[in-house]
Amino acid sequence: MKLACQEGLVPGNSLPERLERLHAWGYEGIEFWGGGLKERLPEVQSALKNSPVRASTVCAGFRGSPLDADPRERERACEDIKELLYVAADIGAVGLIFVPIFGGPRIPDLRPLASPEQLEFDLLCLLLDELARTAEKAGTFLLLEPLNRYETHFIRRLEQAVAVCEKVAHPHLKIMADFFHMSIEEADIPAAIRHAGQWIAHVHLADSNRLLPGQGHTDFKSGFAALKAIGYTGYMALECGIAGDPLLELPKAAQFLKAHMS
């Protein structure tokens, strides 16, 4: 397993400086925010070319929502996602992290015909079939992320994301597992990871309080053991707040995580 960090967490006046610091601290990857990334493509490609640190992933950055009631918002989201999949491929990233919807449902309740959640599931699977095909053409992956109950009503546990992946059944649709969201929603984080198995293609790291690993009380050792048990060898990227000076705390977090990976 390889450690990565979101670009915005790393102090520095330029991307090359941030990459240099990450490498010195023991990180192997960097995760980019998707918003505006296409316009930065030459800068990012140039910096990565001269660094041993690789692009791990692209995190969201698309407009609209694929599950909006307004078809124009759905179309806007899908077009942005397709574009970002090609951007992710252009920088050599594993894939694009994708959250279907934040907050409550926007689709009407049509019970007894169908609940909003059932309509969302069916619509999402239909859209993901096309988006996963785009990911395949681009040469990257679409990474479905479950959130927690305070951020979404839909897809909050890994098993729910697995159900979507199994329904779509496309090899370029995978899951992104986030330790912070799992600490809220999963009764047993290692068991949830083992159940999701080979669907997991990326991991986000944050402690129970959404700060750096080691600044809360999440049991990372058992979670990492479960990832090893399913044969996971990919990136695990920090997505969290930092209590203290990042120049001191980011290297300390890398040391903490590597100790728990062994």
Checking if the pLDDT of 72 tops 90, the result is: yes
How confident is the model over 30-58, as pLDDT tens digits?
Answer: 999 999 999 999 999 999 999 999 999 99
Checking if the pLDDT of 262 tops 90, the result is: no
- Mean pLDDT, to the nearest integer, of 1-19? 98
Residue 172 pLDDT level (bands cut at 50, 70, 90): very high
Residues acting as catalytic residues: 145, 239
User: Domain ranges in the chain?
Assistant: 2-261
5/32 Cα distance (integer angstroms): 9
Return the pLDDT at 75: 97
247/251 Cα distance (integer angstroms): 7
- Mean pLDDT, to the nearest integer, of 191-211? 98
User: What are the C-alpha distances in Å from 243 to residues 85, 104, 127, 237?
Assistant: 33, 31, 39, 17
Q: Return the CATH superfamily for domain 2-261.
A: Divalent-metal-dependent TIM barrel enzymes (3.20.20.150)
Q: What values do phi and psi take at 45, rounded to 5?
A: -60, -40
Return the pLDDT at 245: 98
Query: Mean pLDDT, the chain, as a whole number?
Result: 97
Residue 236 pLDDT level (bands cut at 50, 70, 90): very high
How confident is the model over 94-152, as pLDDT tens digits?
Answer: 999 999 999 999 999 999 989 999 999 999 999 999 999 999 999 999 999 999 999 99
Strand partners, 177: 203
